[in-house]
Amino acid sequence: MRVVVAGGSGFLGSQLCEALVSRGDRVSCLDNFSSGRVANVAHLLNLPGFECVTCDVTTRVRVSGDVDAVVHLASPASPYDYHQHPLETLAAGSRGTENLLQLAVRHRARFVLASTSEVYGDPKVHPQTEEYWGHVNPIGPRSVYDEAKRYAEALTAAYRRSRDADTGIVRIFNTYGPRMRAHDGRVVSTFVRQALAGEPLSLHGDGSQTRSFCYVDDMVRGLIAMLDSGRPGPVNLGNPAERTVRELAELVLALTASPSGLRFLPLPADDPVRRRPEITRAREQLGWRPRVPLDEGLRHTVAWFAGRPEALGQPPKPSAAAGSAS
């Protein structure tokens, strides 16, 4: 296939591009590099089946030649990014989604939206099934990301109903692994960076809130399964093994042999207390389940960061860049 991956230079997008090229697909990576990095796809640039195009999907999307599939990963996706770029995040979910849907419709191509577990907000149903409508504060500090993805889902469903578009929606739960940015505000990258630097690990609240962590290789397999399936979704993609944030911190400390302690900070507004996916639909419809246990995935992640001390440096300065991808 010829696959357009919007947000293809980000943490997840770049590894999806790599997997698609490896199986023989031709890939066009679109990104404006506000949070993605050229370094993530540098090893693909000279391959005949890959191209990387600078493009802001919120303004215009032009792709020459045939297109068989479009995967929409173009959005600020980490807390650091969507707090720095709230309007760009909303634009990526609205205008960006419609521009990419129009591209897919013009080419009669498969369209897959990478949505998020954040559409469930601070859930009142546990574990979260795809039938749950969520509990989201529409004007809170996290709302720019949560509501952008909820709107993107509504728009995708509307195109399927009204334009007969071949669409699919996946809801991605916490994903981690190599190529994360050390200062992106995600809990795994933050803990690994702090442990390797010998700094106290920052826990918000008492650390009893739970998350479900899925290794990036498993998530890429899930995205490709959805791309190939023709299913409409939404389908949860995540690891149902639920861990407290404190357990995660202690595991990172053990794997890094770090002398760092723990530092407790106030819980952010609207921070979900519990988060775990119900993945029956993914197992039955996509034949997918995660394979990589947390300790194994964390070892790979720690080794990747430890081998790149430059990646542990100072956080980037805020900029006015528009919506890219993670």
Phi first, then psi: what are they for 216, rounded to 5°? -60, -35
Give yes or no for residue 324 having a pLDDT over 60. Answer: no
- In this structure, of 53-62, 67-76, 220-229, the range with the lowest mean pLDDT score is 53-62
Residue type, 155: L
As a whole number of angstroms, the distance between CA 152 and CA 132 comes to 17
The per-residue pLDDT for range 184-231, each reduced to its tens digit, is 889 999 999 999 999 999 998 899 999 999 999 999 999 999 999 999
Q: Are strands 210-212 and 242-244 parallel, antiparallel or unpaired?
A: antiparallel
Confidence of residue 310 (pLDDT cuts 50, 70, 90): low
As a whole number of angstroms, the distance between CA 130 and CA 278 comes to 8
Name the helix (H) or strand (E) containing 215: strand 214-215
Q: Is 278 exposed, middle or buried (0-12, 13-18, 19+ CB in 10 A)?
A: middle
Q: How far apart are the two ends of the chain, measured CA to CA in Å?
A: 23
What length does the chain have?
A: 326
Which residue from 319, 322, 318 is spatially nearest to 91, judged by alpha carbons? 322
User: Per residue, what are the HEC states of 237-305?
Assistant: ECCCCEEEHHHHHHHHHHHHCCCCCEEEECCCCCCCCCCCECCHHHHHHHCCCCCCCHHHHHHHHHHHH
Give yes or no for residue 320 having a pLDDT over 90. Answer: no
Confidence of residue 314 (pLDDT cuts 50, 70, 90): low
Q: Is 23 left (phi over 0), alpha (psi -120 to 50) or beta?
A: alpha
Which residue from 15, 290, 6 is spatially nearest to 179, judged by alpha carbons? 15
DSSP string, 141-199: TTHHHHHHHHHHHHHHHHHHHHH---EEEEEE--EE-TT--TTS--HHHHHHHHHHHTP
User: The domain 2-179+213-240+275-292: what is its CATH number?
Assistant: 3.40.50.720
Which residue from 271, 266, 245 is spatially nearest to 140, judged by alpha carbons? 271
Indicate which residues carry an active-site annotation: 145
As a whole number of angstroms, the distance between CA 301 and CA 168 comes to 29
Name the CA radius of gyration of the chain, rounded. 19
The per-residue pLDDT for range 119-130, each reduced to its tens digit, is 999 999 999 999
Beta bridge partner(s), residue 244: 210
The per-residue pLDDT for range 73-109, each reduced to its tens digit, is 999 888 888 888 999 999 999 999 999 999 999 999 9
The per-residue pLDDT for range 247-291, each reduced to its tens digit, is 999 999 999 999 999 999 988 777 788 899 999 999 999 999 999
As a whole number of angstroms, the distance between CA 177 and CA 231 comes to 27
What pLDDT was estimated at residue 311?
A: 65
As a whole number of angstroms, the distance between CA 230 and CA 165 comes to 11
**How far, CA to CA in Å, does 110 sit from each of 94, 96, 147, 299?**
19, 16, 24, 35
